[in-house]
Amino acid sequence: MMHSIREQILRALMLRLIDAIAPTPVVRMPGTPISRDASPALLVFSEADTITSSANGVLDWALTLRLVALARGDKAFTITDQLMVTAHQHLMRDLPTSGLCLGVAPQDCVFWRI
């Protein structure tokens, strides 16, 4: 069975993130809270999947992902910063994601201490 383009993009990006920050776990849409023992971790959420334009029967879609880096302790900011920098570098490495999409564009970044 063939997966949707959306799912193919998500899987390709997940594999890229897993390779980039191994052995740190990358979790897609966690259904249960992440335990303290699982920290540090990178969480990937699919925030939106919307049509941005339509012309001549062709639809442009925007898939918005949110990456959340979790870490605890005295070096939490340093660890989460490094996770996000590494994730960003690897996501921007192949902007069309092997031809699955037109590009990848970052939106914003927020840091929280837990």
- Please state the domain extents for the chain: 5-91
pLDDT digits (tens, 9 = 90+) for 85-106: 999 999 888 888 888 888 888 8
pLDDT digits (tens, 9 = 90+) for 28-81: 988 888 888 888 999 999 988 888 888 998 888 899 999 999 999 899 999 999
- Residue 111 pLDDT exceeds 70: no
User: Among 56, 61, 60, 68, which Cα is nearest to 28's?
Assistant: 68
Paired tokens of 114: 């837990």
pTM of the model: 0.84
- Residue 24 pLDDT exceeds 60: yes
Taken in order 86, 88, 64, 98, the sign of the CA dihedral is negative
User: Among 65, 50, 68, 59, which Cα is nearest to 106's?
Assistant: 65
